[in-house]
């Protein structure tokens, strides 16, 4: 389904959309048309039909001309190509490292009047011990 010819065509488009600049690699260098394409399509299989349709309509054009033609011929496929390229590029560990993105992390939310003794963990020992009570007869 995803041929070498399609990958080569996508690589040319990807390098037009995200060229190497200011110390950042191009989309083609990152593998947007190779391993990253497989990753994106595994996460978003709905983009596959748009990719195949875009390739069928513009396979004989170079990268810039193909993407420009898709704007006119098939805006939905153009959008899918842009998502594939951008998604594959920013899903790359190399790119995330270069831009300093370490991933999503939870941010603990505390109300403004949150007691310090709880924030410092002073009650953790009590909570870990569990309930202790005496019978009052």
Phi, psi dihedrals of residue 24, rounded to the nearest 5°: -100, 140
User: SS3 for 6?
Assistant: helix
Rounded Cα distance between 103 and 33, Å, is 23
pLDDT digits (tens, 9 = 90+) for 14-39: 999 999 999 999 999 999 999 999 99
pLDDT digits (tens, 9 = 90+) for 118-127: 878 888 888 8
Q: What is the mean pLDDT of the chain?
A: 92
Q: Do 25 and 95 form a contact (C-beta atoms < 8 A)?
A: yes
Provide the whole-model pTM.
0.75
């Amino acid at each position: 389904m995803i041929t070498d010819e399609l990958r080569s065509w996508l690589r040319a488009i990807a390098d037009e959309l995200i060229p190497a600049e200011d110390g950042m690699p191009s989309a083609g260098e990152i593998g947007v048309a190779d391993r990253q394409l497989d990753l994106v399509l595994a996460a978003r299989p709905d983009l596959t039909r748009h990719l195949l349709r875009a390739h069928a309509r513009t396979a004989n054009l170079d990268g810039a001309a193909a993407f420009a033609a898709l704007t006119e011929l098939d805006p939905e496929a153009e959008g899918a190509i842009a998502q594939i390229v951008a998604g594959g590029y920013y899903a790359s560990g190399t790119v995330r490292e270069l831009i300093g993105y370490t991933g999503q992390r939870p941010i603990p939310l505390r109300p403004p009047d949150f007691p310090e003794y709880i924030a410092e963990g002073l009650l953790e020992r009590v909570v870990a011990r569990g309930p202790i009570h005496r019978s009052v007869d």
